A and B are shown apart, each in its own frame.
Chain A
Amino acid sequence: MRARDLVYETASALDANRGRSLLTVLGIVIGISAVIAMTALIGGIKQTLMGELGLNQARMVSMYAYPNREVTLDDLDRLAELMPEYECLTAATYGAAEAKSETKTFTPTVIGVLPSYFEVMGLDPVEGSLFTQRDQDSGALVVVLDKGSVKELYGNPDEPVVGKTISLNNVSYAVVGVIESGSVMMGGSGMLYIPFSTCGARITGSMSVNDFSGLAREGTDMEAITETTKAALVSYFQLDGDDEENVYVMTMQSVMDELDSMMASFQLMMTSVASISLLVGGIGIMNMMLTNVTERIREIGLRKALGARSSDITKQFLLESVCLCLAGGVIGIVLGYLGSFALTGFAGGLVQTGSAPATVTPVIDAQAVGIATGICVLIGVAFGYYPARRAAKLDPVESLHYQ
């Protein structure tokens, strides 16, 4: 029996049972849709985050060291000398204050930052400008808002606010610039940035540094720099390097890894939905193939009388169930991809950037499609084999006289 004949037989058999075939593959369709929608969404979320992160952030390293003393800007300068692999080190300090515009009040996180902070974080102003060294040196009363805090203070994140004045703990600050909100991964939205010196003097009351961030030089191995930075911090601050509580170094890569583990529960849920419906779908396929074999007993007997080998019959029915599953898979891939667009709102919420949910565009990759196709073939073979063997083992004499 030639491949061409096999294909012809399969096509005409499936064509004869179009409605029933379509209903039977529903389980497969649902299972594959779930798999594809899930991978497309996760791919989309990752891509969105990558895009949002920008180029600099791939080189950004966050460092947390907690020695038993205050960490100051002098430490920062010495660390910069110790770690020449960094283009630039910057520091931030965190405080809280009551912020007021003419109409509204809220209590944001106030971050005191060095002027280099925005560059290291890869943040550009969407309006106005950022801090200068002079602001830092003079402890200027200037503030940079993110879109989230603009929304909190003025109700509308796109309100032009540069040049306006807000008050922090009843001291007036001039708004000099607005930046995009960071995502959840970046510490969330609703942040207020003021110069480090201003923050130390007026909000936190101390010149100590809460965390450092560094911008590695281009072409640096980000895996290796995590280790060397950690070692440098341990030796500089004379810390117990084994204690995670004392020192912690994080690159964007490790943030991505964390995102992966956060996605794992979502992925697990979708995978179980998918596997259950694939299992049920497979049983449905087997059921239909058994019905098919019973309905076609006379035809099978005839084919055997006309010279079909058992293997020809096995092949014919096996290919039929594989094609059935593949058809289900193709429909599932298309539906899953379309369905993932419907779910972008939900996914956007996960990576919300402040005021507006991020726009996540589902990403479908060849690997996911390949795996889904492979699963379909596997199900077709696994659940089609028993009916096909049953057909092949039929006795030609009995089947020819079967009523």
Chain B
Amino acid sequence: MAPVIDIRGVHRIYESAAGYMHALRGVSLQVERGELLCIMGPSGSGKSTLMNTLGCLDTPTSGTYLLEGVDVSMLDDDELAELRATRLGFVFQSFNLLPRATVMRNVTLPLVYSDCPVSERRVRASRALAAVSLPEQYFDHRSNELSGGQMQRVAIARALVNDPAVILADEPTGNLDSATGEMVLRTFRTLRDEGKTIVLITHDPEVARWADRTVHIRDGRLLTDEQERALLAADPTTRSAT
């Protein structure tokens, strides 16, 4: 079966007042269905750019990206939006919930943009919230009344609600204490066990331990675990950057 994510030779060059910024330098990566992949790298390594590229929020300067076999470079803005609505789920470090809206409203928000019938929305949202084990009594609370761990679980439910091909999580535990973070990571593991494909982006080796596979990104290039170890062995000073 074809990999869910298949990127080959992707470059991303930003043009800014300070000059050109080469954020990704020939990145190739395949993610299989049902895999929990961790992308690790220090800040400035290009991991956010990679995340945005995988999430179809940013387009590569060169190289190809096949999402479930579809070449996303061929799609226009509206088709990319539809892809984000139906095939991709995002989890952010800072949760990015609508603070004044209820839990239910937050989780159903992607359904608004994927043209889901109003009658189905609550059912699907409840299912997604059950998958992240958020008790039903919170469904009609406003999201800013929840704890950090609860908020992140609501955010995961929101990412799940459209049954996407991939869930992309950018530092999902970055704003949580370690116990809550572990609960969130356990949620991801459970989802992986249910067959979801998840890409975690982090700089925290503790988080990486939960993944099936870890790739490292450094200066816009991907390294395998072995290459990373070799790099660190050759030049121990680079460790401080992680």
Is the pair B113, A306 in contact by a Cβ cutoff of 8 Å? yes
| Distance of B162 from chain A, by nearest CB (Å) | 8
> Which residues of A in the span 360-403 have a Cβ within 8 Å of any Cβ on B?
396-397, 400
Which of B50-58, B146-154, B171-179 is found at the contact surface with chain A? B50-58
At the interface, yes or no: A305 with Cβ under 8 Å from chain B? yes
Q: Using a CB-CB cutoff of 8 Å, which residues 276-318 of chain A contact chain B?
A: 298-299, 302-312
Chain A residue contacts of B115, Cβ below 8 A: 1-2
The verdict on A308 contacting B81 (CB below 8 Å), with A5-B112, A303-B109 known, is: yes
B110 at the interface (CB under 8 A from A): yes
Asked if A262 is an interface residue, CB under 8 A from chain B, the answer is no
Partner of B113, one of A312, A397, A400: A312
Identify the stretch in B2-10, B90-98, B188-196, B232-240 within 8 Å (CB) of chain A at 4 or more residues.
B90-98
Which chain B residues border A309 with CB–CB below 8 Å? 77-78, 81-82, 113
Bound-state Cα–Cα, A1 to B81, Å: 12
A4–B108 alpha-carbon span in the complex (Å): 14
Q: Inside 8 A of B113's CB, which chain A residues have their CB?
A: 1, 303, 306-309, 312
A2-B112, A302-B98, A309-B81 are known; give 10 further A-B pairs, CB within 8 A.
A299-B98, A303-B113, A304-B57, A306-B113, A307-B83, A309-B82, A311-B78, A396-B57, A397-B57, A397-B58
Whether, in the assembled complex, A72 has its beta carbon less than 8 Å from a beta carbon of chain B, the answer is: no
With contacts A299-B98, A397-B52 taken as known, whether A306 is within 8 angstroms of B57 at the C-beta atoms is no
Interface residue SS majority, chain A: helix
Residues of chain A within 8 A (CB-CB) of B125 are none
In the assembled complex, how far is the CB of residue B26 from the closest CB belonging to chain A, in whole angstroms?
Answer: 21
Q: Which chain B residues in 43-77 approach chain A with CB under 8 Å? A: 52, 55, 57-58, 77
Residues of A within 8 A of B86 (CB): 307
- Chain B residues near A311: list those with CB within 8 A: 78
Q: Residue B31 at the A interface, CB < 8 A?
A: no
Q: How far is the CB of A166 from chain B (nearest CB, A)?
A: 80
Residues of B within 8 A of A206 (CB): none
User: Which residue from B57, B101, B114 sits with its C-beta under 8 Å from A305?
Assistant: B57
Dominant SS among interface residues on chain B:
helix
Name which residue of chain A comes closest to B116, CB basis.
Answer: A2
B96 touches A298 (CB 8 A): yes
Residues of A within 8 A of B (CB): 1-2, 4-5, 12, 16, 298-299, 302-312, 396-397, 400
Given A396-B57, A397-B52, A400-B92, A307 and B101 touching (CB < 8 A)? no
28 residue pairs of the A-B complex, CB under 8 angstroms, read A2-B112, A2-B115, A2-B118, A4-B118, A5-B112, A12-B100, A12-B101, A299-B98, A304-B81, A305-B55, A305-B57, A306-B84, A306-B110, A306-B158, A307-B82, A307-B113, A307-B114, A308-B81, A308-B85, A309-B77, A309-B78, A310-B81, A311-B78, A312-B113, A396-B57, A397-B52, A397-B58, A400-B92
A400 to chain B, nearest CB (A): 7
B90: chain A residues at CB < 8 Å are 305-306
Residues of B close to A1: CB separation below 8 A? 112-113, 115
Cα A5 to Cα B57 with chains together (Å):
23
Distance of A299 Cα from B167 Cα, bound (Å): 20
Distance between Cα atoms of A1 and B111 in the complex (Å): 9
* Cα distance, A358 to B118, chains bound together (Å): 58
Question: For residue B55, which residue of chain A has the nearest CB?
Answer: A305
**Are B109 and A306 in contact (CB-based, < 8 A)?**
yes
Report the minimum CB–CB distance from B125 to chain A (whole Å): 13
Q: Contacts of A12 on B, CB cut-off 8 Å? A: 100-101
Do residues B110 and A307 form an inter-chain contact, with CB atoms below 8 A? yes
- Known A305-B55, A305-B90; contact A16-B98, beta-carbon cutoff 8 A: no
**Contact status B118-A307, CB under 8 Å:** no
Min Cβ gap A21→B in Å is 15
Contacts of A4 in B (CB 8 A): 118
CB-contact partner of A307 in B52, B85, B100, under 8 A: B85
- Which residues on B sit within 8 Å (CB–CB) of A298? 96
Q: Rank and list the top 10 A-B pairs by shortest CB-CB distance, nearest first.
A: A307-B85, A307-B113, A309-B81, A307-B84, A306-B110, A5-B112, A396-B57, A302-B96, A309-B78, A397-B52
Closest to B117 in A: A2
CB within 8 Å for A400 and B96 given contacts A1-B112, A307-B114, A310-B77: yes
Complex CA distance for A277 and B171, rounded to whole angstroms: 50
B7-28 interface bits toward A, Cβ cutoff 8 Å, 1 = contact, 0 = none:
0000000000000000000000
> How many angstroms between the C-alpha atoms of A255 and B84 in the bound complex?
69
* B84, A305: Cβ atoms closer than 8 Å: yes
Q: How far is the CB of B53 from chain A (nearest CB, A)?
A: 10
A304: B residues at CB distance < 8 A: 57, 81, 84
Residues of A within 8 A of B98 (CB): 299, 302
